[in-house]
Amino acid sequence: MRNPLKRITAIFIVVAILPIGFILHELNTLSENEKIVKEIYQNQLDAILYSINQYSDDVINSWANRFNIALIEEKYSGDSTRQITSVLNQIVAVQHIYFNDLNGASIVYNAEGIKAPDAQIRLDNVVKQNRDRIDRLITYKRAGFRKMELMDTINTDRPVPVFFVLDSGSTTYRLGAMVIDLPVFIESTLGPKMQAIAQDKFIITAFRTDTDSLIFSTVSADETAALPANDQSQKKSFWLLPGYYVSIALPGATINDLVRERMITSLVILGLLIAILGLGIWFLYKNIRREMYLAQAKSEFVSNVSHEIRTPLSLISMYAETLEMNRVSEEKKKEYHTVIAKEAARLSGIVNRILNFSQIQANKKQYESKPIQLNDLVDEVLKSYFFHLKDKGFTCKLDKDETLEMIRGDRESIAEAFINLIDNAMKYSRDKKNILIATGRDGKFNFIEVKDEGIGILKKHQEEIFDQFYRAPTGDVHDTKGSGLGLTLVRKTMDAHRGKVKVDSIPGRGSTFRLYFPIKKDIAP
């Protein structure tokens, strides 16, 4: 018994370790996974910000092309400002357009085609101070790539010039600069693009870097104000527009919120999984242990019963053989016959008990449903048990509730259950041979109670003692003969009567068993 149990325990531990270990490992890597999720989110948002920057770059580049073309057309049409002012009129974000031939001649227009000498002086200065950078732009252009560059000290309150190299040969001018009003550019040019990207999935906002004041948002000002400040981590400066940045957030929740939510859900699911798995394994283990115990108890039962049968059988055969020899006096013959009859009766008693049990076990037992006064039944049983109890040195007190109502049930099986309890009270009492029998009412039940001052039952065994073949392994219990079937029968009988059996016991102090019978309830036929 011990070894197979140990083996099963070991198998269970191994079986449990694998999934639980896996789940614990998952739990461990959870924060790692969540970090990856967070990174994925951030990369996605990053990509969106990148695309907005790329778009602004493309747009300004295309404007530079348009000015370049207008300049070429103007050269051929001879009209000094018309083409250029028409482009300027279409692009509201560009306040002035500036051209320079890099030999000292330059010109500036606004949308009305009017020259702006202040702006011209300022931009001429910028060109002078940044000759190196302009030369670099020319080199890029020769290599076939037009680079746009902002070349002024950054001043967010003033429109900024973005310089670009013109197509050579087509005009006397070599260099152009668009003087862009940044807030207007962000709102009128980038705004629609940001709106198209954001849809309902994101909130994209543009801010001024120095003051953190809002320039544009894809949602209303209220919703923007409600955005959590810590989500500003998702932000990028505009490549061509220093002094401004664009930021992106998820509506309703920050990335941290989302990740935390996911993590909590994952933790709860994993926790539940561990609990269910643990419970399942525990139940399985308990059941297997019980089955193994039962298997062993059954084999003990067979040897117990064989032993019980062998004693009367050998007595019968011994006396029968002696009688057969015909050498005994008439008086002895009579005595031997009595012994044979008594032992045969004992034998049939044992066999009947086993048959009865197997009948109940197979739910084939038929119960009567007749009115019974429990007090009468108790009196009757005790009358026939009185001498037996006295003979074994027991004192038996009786405390009847004379007001008990009748119940309905099967007299014989109730008496049998009651006798089983008295038998046990006797079997499991040691020095204090006192038994108290009582009847009474408890709520909707009448009860019979058998109380002893015997060895008692440990709390942990108080449920198992009703299992078939179960015998509590307390103290010297195995010195007491038994099959472990008595209480199983008692419980079956009580179930059939829609009643119950309860035990209350303190090891070393004694046990109280109570049989509860429902009042005014017919039992199943």
Among 193, 477, 500, 521, binds ligand ADP (CB under 6 A): 477
Smallest distance, Å, CB 305 to ligand ADP? 11
Give kind and range of the element (H or E) at residue 422: helix 411-427
Query: How many other β-carbons are positioned within 10 Å of the β-carbon of residue 384?
Result: 10
Smallest distance, Å, CB 440 to ligand ADP? 19
205 vs 493, beta carbon nearer ligand ADP:
493
Among 240, 259, 425, 501, binds ligand ADP (CB under 6 A): 425
Residue 216: φ, ψ to 5°: -155, 145
Q: How many residues does the chain have?
A: 525
Residues 6+ apart with CB under 8 A from 69: none
**428-457 residues near ligand ADP, rule: CB under 6 A:** 428, 452, 454-457
Smallest distance, Å, CB 311 to ligand ADP? 17
Q: Which stretch binds ligand ADP (CB under 6 A): 88-96, 269-277, 358-366, 483-491?
A: 483-491
- Site map 492..521 versus ligand ADP, x via CB under 6 A: -------------------x----------
Residues 316, 457: Cα–Cα separation, whole Å: 38
Among 465, 496, 501, 523, binds ligand ADP (CB under 6 A): 465
9 vs 306, beta carbon nearer ligand ADP:
306
Smallest distance, Å, CB 486 to ligand ADP? 3
Among 159, 176, 484, 518, binds ligand ADP (CB under 6 A): 484
From the number of C-beta atoms within 10 Å of its C-beta (0-12, 13-18, 19+), residue 92 rates as middle
402 vs 479, beta carbon nearer ligand ADP:
479
Q: Which stretch binds ligand ADP (CB under 6 A): 278-286, 329-337, 342-350, 464-472?
A: 464-472
Smallest distance, Å, CB 387 to ligand ADP? 21
111 vs 465, beta carbon nearer ligand ADP:
465
Can residue 424 be called a binding residue for ligand ADP (CB under 6 A)?
yes
CB 92, CB 188: distance < 8 Å: yes
Can residue 486 be called a binding residue for ligand ADP (CB under 6 A)?
yes
DSSP state of 5: H
CB 350, CB 309: distance < 8 Å: yes
Among 93, 297, 437, 487, binds ligand ADP (CB under 6 A): 487
Smallest distance, Å, CB 477 to ligand ADP? 5
CA 416, distance to chain mean position in Å, is: 50
**Helix 2-77 / helix 255-325 crossing angle, nearest 10 deg:** 160
78 vs 393, beta carbon nearer ligand ADP:
393
Half-sphere exposure of 420 toward its Cβ, with a 13 Å CA cutoff?
26
CA 417, 421, 427, 428 torsion-angle sign? positive
**174-233 residues near ligand ADP, rule: CB under 6 A:** none
Smallest distance, Å, CB 281 to ligand ADP? 29
DSSP string, 139-166: HHHHTT-PPPEE-S---TTS-EEEEEEP
Binding-residue total with ligand ADP (CB under 6 A): 22
343 vs 452, beta carbon nearer ligand ADP:
452
Written as six digits, the tokens of 47 are 């990509």
Secondary structure, 3-state, 8-59: HHHHHHHHHHHHHHHHHHHHHHHHHHHHHHHHHHHHHHHHHHHHHHHHHHHH
130 vs 462, beta carbon nearer ligand ADP:
462
CB 336, CB 353: distance < 8 Å: no
Residues 61, 72: Cα–Cα separation, whole Å: 17
Smallest distance, Å, CB 478 to ligand ADP? 8
Q: Which stretch binds ligand ADP (CB under 6 A): 2-10, 239-247, 359-367, 479-487?
A: 479-487
CB 89, CB 111: distance < 8 Å: yes
333 vs 502, beta carbon nearer ligand ADP:
502
Smallest distance, Å, CB 439 to ligand ADP? 18
Can residue 328 be called a binding residue for ligand ADP (CB under 6 A)?
no
What is the helix, strand, coil percentage profile of the chain, to 5? 55, 15, 25
Do β-strands 175-180 and 160-165 pair in parallel, antiparallel, or remain unpaired?
antiparallel
Smallest distance, Å, CB 521 to ligand ADP? 26
94 vs 487, beta carbon nearer ligand ADP:
487
Q: Which stretch binds ligand ADP (CB under 6 A): 256-264, 432-440, 463-471, 516-524?
A: 463-471
Give kind and range of the element (H or E) at residue 106: strand 106-110
Q: Which stretch binds ligand ADP (CB under 6 A): 5-13, 375-383, 440-448, 469-477?
A: 469-477
Smallest distance, Å, CB 507 to ligand ADP? 9
In three-state secondary structure terms, 244 is strand
In three-state secondary structure terms, 245 is strand
The residue ranges that bind ligand ADP (CB under 6 A) are 424-425, 427-428, 452, 454-457, 465, 470-472, 477, 482-488, 511
